[in-house]
Amino acid sequence: MTTRINPSILAADFANLERELGRIDTADLVHVDVMDNHFVPNLTFGLHMVRRLHEVSPIPLDVHLMIDDPDRWGPAYAEAGAQSVTFHAEAAGEPVALARRLRALGARAGIALKPGTDDAPYIDLLPEFDQVLVMTVEPGFGGQAFIPETMPKLARLADVIHEAGLDVWLEVDGGITEETIGIAAAAGADTFVAGSHVFNGEVPADRIAALRAAASA
Ligand code: DX5
Ligand code: ZN
């Protein structure tokens, strides 16, 4: 099975982002957490940052929009060069129309589910998406503890994706460490976001390698 490790630059040194990208050159994608201080109680960066990151990053960008009204803003992130644009289910007015727009612009379309968000209403929509992001913490901040109660939802989604033969990546985000990554992998995740665990390491690339090994152990 393919394992993707996507470090989140939320935990990187914001004053030296280009240099930080050089320390994670074994990553599959770079996870970019966009927060608007409305959908989540925290503020990070937006479109201009994603445009510049795309210009300097040899690694494709996995943009995670924690914002209100992704219907309005999401397509611009695809135009800015993001490989994937993931928005939160309850933030979108028309999730399917938005996913189609993102795909038409050449991006992978992703839908994100908070720990308390029921997956049932989205099961039939899975063919419209390229990835599902199961939040394993409440969105808004890095460095929180993994919530194991999210695993039954992940396993359910993995079953549906597998049984229907869909090409949909199953991504987890929040509290991923060398301990928790195995739990998420066993439940069916194939794509792993890790912020603090990667960037708090003296050599982030070593942490990426260790996560990769732990995911397939
Ligand atoms: C949280 C963000 C995560 C965050 C993960 O809202 O979506 O991507 O950066 O950070 P860690 O790995 O430290 O939990
Ligand atoms: Zn994220």
Nearest ligand to the C-alpha atom of residue 141:
1
Q: Distance from the CA of 76 to the center of ligand 1, in angstroms?
A: 23
196, 198, 199, 200: residue to mutate for ligand 1 pocket, most atoms within 8 A of CB: 196
Q: Atom 7, ligand 1: which residue's CA is nearest?
A: 139
Protein residues whose CB sits closer than 6 Å to any atom of ligand 1: 8, 10-11, 31, 33, 64, 137, 139-144, 173-176, 193-197
Query: For ligand 1, what atom is nearest to the CA of residue 174?
Result: 14
pLDDT score recorded for residue 1: 76
Q: Which residue, chain included where needed, has tokens 């869909």?
A: 166
**pLDDT by residue (tens digit) across 65-74?**
999 999 999 9
**Is 93 annotated as a binding-site member?**
no
Question: What confidence tens digit (pLDDT) does each residue in 124-159 have?
Answer: 999 999 999 999 999 999 999 999 999 999 999 999
Q: Check whether 64 is labelled as a binding-site residue.
A: yes
Residues 6+ apart with CB under 8 A from 44: 10, 33, 34, 35
The residues carrying an active-site annotation are 33, 173
Write out pLDDT tens, residues 25-55.
999 999 999 999 999 999 999 999 999 999 9
The residue to which tokens 């929180």 are assigned: 144
Residue whose CA is closest, atom 10 of ligand 1? 142
31: left (phi over 0), alpha (psi -120 to 50) or beta: beta
**Residue ID of nearest Cα to ligand 1 atom 6:** 139
Question: Would the ipTM clear 0.95, i.e. be above it?
Answer: yes
Residue 190, CA distances (Å) to 2, 107, 115, 158 in order: 6, 19, 18, 10
> Measuring from atom 4 of ligand 1, which residue has the nearest CA?
142
* Residue 143 CA to ligand 1 centre (angstroms): 7
How much is the pLDDT for 217? 86
* Nearest-angstrom CA–CA distance, 187 and 156: 9
How high is the mean pLDDT of the chain?
A: 98
Give the whole-angstrom CA distance, residue 60 versus residue 152. 30
Question: Does 57 belong to an annotated binding site?
Answer: no
pLDDT, mean of residues 187-193: 98
Ligand nearest to the CA of 198: 1
Top-tier CATH class for 4-215: alpha beta
In degrees, rounded to 5, the angle at the alpha carbon of residue 7 between the alpha carbons of residues 10 and 100 is 90
Pick the atom of ligand 1 nearest to 42's CA. Answer: 6
Rounded to 10°, the helix 70-79/95-104 angle is 10
- Pick from 65, 109, 107, 57: nearest CA to 90: 65
